């Protein structure tokens, strides 16, 4: 275990930064930085000390390598704590720089510390404030515990680790009880290797949501078996109607964050903060003619259900929230 004096000295640095900086994002970053440190630290007694007495970020490289901490190692490469302990701006800049560094030094183009924080790989509740969408009227569609508020193929899904997961070998549409016209939908999803699913929007209760409504494709684009798909079949595409920009999915097994905005005739999809689809439905299918050559009567619908469209793979969804822009929950589609 580290010497108590060394711990206290480092704690003082971070407490000073917390107290001195007026930037809201900085305390938020400190909080999440601390939480992830405590989650992964191997010494429970030390973690308890940090949680109850220091209440600040602890960065260290351990005693003789016995308590390695990659955050402390990265930070130590950027600053000399003894020299900058009173320099709030320098320490803050260093911590923010750490957020941009790869969480796995062996994967320099992989997930950064900041992305790990944003994905919520922390103890429950630590990121409640940061994870909320900016829209003040957003509400949860999934309570993290039950399928209350959902109808349809409920026997094909289960709630596991605060996520809705499609049972392997099962499929069908899990739909919201309410219907929505104009909205912004946020969710996170995790794909298994070769995973295939979808998010239905303005979908009816019956029929194939990809045609009778619209399906935003959820797919592991990297799987060999999907190498020869059409552009409108890859992840994020409005299936059969509008292809999405590729290359924005995180590696299989990691959580992805998606935003789907549907307002009037315009549909926009953002994946991990990047817009991958932004189309006017009338322009994407002029005269009703779609790029896949099939009929898509759902393009004319003005409202419908939100759905998880399982195709037999164990795809997981969580943190599903919606901002009903039209306030027409329950309205019937044309």
Q: How far apart are CA 162 and CA 291, in angstroms?
A: 37
pTM of the entire predicted model: 0.64
Q: How far apart are CA 162 and CA 318, in angstroms?
A: 7
Q: How far apart are CA 290 and CA 271, in angstroms?
A: 23
What's the whole-number mean pLDDT along residues 136-146? Answer: 90
- The CATH class, in words, for 132-324 is mainly beta
- What is the location of CATH 2.60.120.560 in the chain? 132-324
Q: How far apart are CA 79 and CA 206, in angstroms?
A: 60
Q: How far apart are CA 288 and CA 283, in angstroms?
A: 9
- Most confident range, picked from 36-45, 98-107, 244-253, 294-303: 294-303
Token pair, residue 54, equals: 């220091």
Token pair, residue 90, equals: 């320098």
Question: 280: how many CB neighbours lie within 10 A of its CB?
Answer: 13
Q: Of 210, 201, 202, which is closest to residue 295 (Cα–Cα)?
A: 210
Q: Report the percentage of the chain scoring pLDDT > 70.
A: 60
pLDDT (tens digit per residue) in 17-72: 333 333 334 444 445 455 544 444 434 433 443 343 333 333 343 344 444 445 55
pLDDT (tens digit per residue) in 299-322: 999 999 999 999 999 999 999 999
* Phi, psi values for residue 193, rounded to 5°: -55, 125
Q: How far apart are CA 1 and CA 46, in angstroms?
A: 7
């Amino acid at each position: 275990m580290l010497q108590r004096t060394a711990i206290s000295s480092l704690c003082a640095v971070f407490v000073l930064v917390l107290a001195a900086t007026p930037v809201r994002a900085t305390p938020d970053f400190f909080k999440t930085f601390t939480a992830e440190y405590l989650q992964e630290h191997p010494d429970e007694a030390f973690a308890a000390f940090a949680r109850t007495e220091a209440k600040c970020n602890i960065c260290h490289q351990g005693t003789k390598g016995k308590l390695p901490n990659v955050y402390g190692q990265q930070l130590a490469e950027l600053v000399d704590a003894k020299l900058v302990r009173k320099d709030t701006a320098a320490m803050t800049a260093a911590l923010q720089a750490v957020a941009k560094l790869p969480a796995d030094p062996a994967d320099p183009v992989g997930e950064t510390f900041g992305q790990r924080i944003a994905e919520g790989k922390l103890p429950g509740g630590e990121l409640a404030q940061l994870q909320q969408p900016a829209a003040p009227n957003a509400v949860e569609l999934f309570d993290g515990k039950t399928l209350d508020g959902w109808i349809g193929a409920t026997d094909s899904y289960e709630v596991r680790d605060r996520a809705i997961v499609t049972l392997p070998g099962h499929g069908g549409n899990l739909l919201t009880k309410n219907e929505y016209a104009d909205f912004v939908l946020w969710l996170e999803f995790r794909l298994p290797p070769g995973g295939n699913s979808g998010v239905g929007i303005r979908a009816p209760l019956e029929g194939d949501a990809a045609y009778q409504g619209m399906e935003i494709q959820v797919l592991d684009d990297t799987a060999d078996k999907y190498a020869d798909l059409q552009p409108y079949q890859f992840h994020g595409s409005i299936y059969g109607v509008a292809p999405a920009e590729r290359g924005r999915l995180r590696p299989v097994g990691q959580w992805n964050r998606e935003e789907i905005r549907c307002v009037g005739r315009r549909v926009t999809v953002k994946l991990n903060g990047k817009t991958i689809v932004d189309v006017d439905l009338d322009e994407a299918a002029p005269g009703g003619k779609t790029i896949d050559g099939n009929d898509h009567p759902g393009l004319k619908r003005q409202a419908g259900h939100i759905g998880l469209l399982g195709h037999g793979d164990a795809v997981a969804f969580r943190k599903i929230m919606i901002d009903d822009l039209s306030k027409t929950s329950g309205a019937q589609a044309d």
